[in-house]
Amino acid sequence: MNPLWLMLLILVPLVGAMIIAFGSGKNAYRDALFASLASLVPAVAALMEFDFTHAGHYQGQWSVSWLEPLGLKLSLGVDSVALLLILLSVLLGPVCVLASKTAITDNRKLYYAWLLVLQSAMVGVFCARDLLLFYICFEFTLLPMFILIRMFGSTNRVAASTKFFLYTFTGSLVTLAGLVYVVKFAAERNGVWSLDIGTLTTAASYMSPKEQAWVLGAMLAGFAVKVPLFPVHTWLPLAHTEAPTAGSVILAGVLLKLGTYGIYRFAIPMAPVAFTEHAPTIAVLAIIGIIYAGLICWVQDDIKKLVAYSSVSHLGFCVLGLTALNANGLSGSVLYMLSHGFSTGGLFLMIGFMYERYHTRDMRKVGGLASKMPVWAFFMVFFTMASVGLPGLNGFPSELLCLISAFQADGSWTAAGEPGAAGVTLGPWYAAVAGTGMVVAAMYLLIMVGRICFGPKIEPEGHHHHEVLPDDLNAREIVTLLPLAVGCLAFGLFPGLLLGAIEEPVNDTVRLVEASHELSGPHAMADSASTAAEGVRP
């Protein structure tokens, strides 16, 4: 794969942002749409050129030294997981721009420029092969999002944006300390100061379990906040509620995934033994999140807050899959990262479209919109069903795999008789309790749809028709939704394509974790092996 495509993926939005920033601002929307569509070109090119038969190899590698004494390099490269996440980020670009046409009326220059910068930074996160470059992009995403919320959010935006920035920033700094520790360890071990993620990953697995535990803790401080994992989730509902629609879409679609991606890319391979050891604890937090946030959704009147909390709940499944540390779990989790944005992003768009018309998100003030906005209601129900995890739509395959993997992660139960892939023991109770999240999700989402789409029509007092927008969705809005809707269906019906694409990197990760167990001593394996012997008959 030509590294040019990766560079273009970063540069095209940046150039677009520049053009908008230095332009008159009159055509900001048009330019942004053009730039976001233009960045689809390198994305497609990268996809076509990517060699999926070696999906675990980093392709399109390119590197140039930046701050040489510091070891910082501009070094790019993607495996299939990163590539797919990049595609997701790029795909959401035009969606976000389209969704903002009428929602953003002031300061368009600022808005679209930062939206594009944000896209650039997200792509940077996924294709960085240099630890510091990763971190730079990872942190840089905060600023555009901060500005989007702070400038274009609703009433409580100042508090929301500040909390978003500071909360995630604080956690990330601790993560940086952990990452630096890995660098230090690797440098002492290899005798060379290197920030190359591949080199670091290889070296890191030689850390003692205790060191790994600390490093893991430090990494989680940042990544768990990003995910967000219970109990460090409180910034998310606030940020989501206050953010402009496109901001919410990106937040749910990509920014949260930076956390799970961080866990997948760094926490697991760099601290495999510690991760295995603490997987049950993390899984418990994930499960608490699933149910706790789900139940909170149930009593929300603010529809956006409801969907925001549902994100917390959903991401719990994603983390649960990661903690299972087997092929099913990691595949499911990566699939979750890819697919969650489509349904939740879709819901945020639906809410945004409604908000533009009624200027309220309070479910007590609007309801029964199906009769007035049938197309809107159709999409609302569609995305809700996707979010509920209806088979055939996007939520299902990943949720299924995540739960199965948790079930399977008890070494004693695997069919072939060998212990669970990495010796983790989560087991059926984890899956069973997490599974109740499915029921809870059905509860709150259907109640939401029931209130807002169905039943007698309620409109806010003094409601006037929108001066620009029709009662029901217009063509632009439908076009905005279509990619997400098609994505929901495609993810639901053909997840096999994606699962096949990520098979190799995922299995590499599983192998790496297993190998690290052999490195760090047999005790972990022995435990599960002995339980395995009891449970399985010849």
Residue 221 and residue 224: Cα distance in Å, rounded? Answer: 6
Nearer CB in complex with another protein: 280/417:
417
Nearer CB in complex with another protein: 62/66:
66
Instruction: Tell me how many helices (H) and strands (E) the chain has.
Output: 23, 2
The amino acid at 168: T
Q: Which two structure tokens, joined as six digits, stand for 111?
A: 């808005």
Tell which positions 56-85 bind another protein, by CB under 8 A.
66-72
Look at residue 197 and give its three-state secondary structure: helix
Tell which positions 117-176 bind another protein, by CB under 8 A.
132, 135-136, 139-140, 143, 146-147, 150-151, 158, 162-163, 165-167, 169-170, 173-174, 176
Nearer CB in complex with another protein: 45/136:
136
Nearer CB in complex with another protein: 27/234:
234
Nearer CB in complex with another protein: 90/291:
291
Quick note: the x/- pattern for another protein over 275-294, rule CB under 8 A, is -----------------x--
> Shortest Cβ distance from residue 492 to another protein (Å)?
9
Binding of residue 324 to another protein (CB under 8 A): no
Nearer CB in complex with another protein: 18/174:
174
Nearer CB in complex with another protein: 140/206:
140
Binding of residue 392 to another protein (CB under 8 A): yes
Interface region with another protein, contact rule CB under 8 A, candidates 45-53, 94-102, 270-278, 388-396: 388-396
Nearest to 342 by CA among 39, 92, 87, 43: 92
Tell which positions 211-240 bind another protein, by CB under 8 A.
214, 231-235
Residue 296 and residue 67: Cα distance in Å, rounded? Answer: 47
* Contact by Cβ (8 Å): 261, 213: no
Tell which positions 409-468 bind another protein, by CB under 8 A.
410, 413-418, 421, 428, 431-432, 435-436, 438-439, 442-443, 446-447, 450, 453-457
Nearer CB in complex with another protein: 414/520:
414
Residue 170 and residue 176: Cα distance in Å, rounded? Answer: 10
Residue 530 and residue 538: Cα distance in Å, rounded? Answer: 15
Local structure of residue 69 (DSSP, 8 states): G
Tell which positions 487-526 bind another protein, by CB under 8 A.
493-496, 499-500, 503, 506-507, 510-511, 514
* Contact by Cβ (8 Å): 31, 23: yes
Look at residue 228 and give its three-state secondary structure: coil
Where do we find the tokens 């389209």? 98
> Shortest Cβ distance from residue 397 to another protein (Å)?
5
3-state secondary structure 115-165: HHHHHHHHHHHHHECEHHHHHHHHHHCHHHHHHHHHHHCCCCHHHHHHHHH
Binding of residue 184 to another protein (CB under 8 A): yes
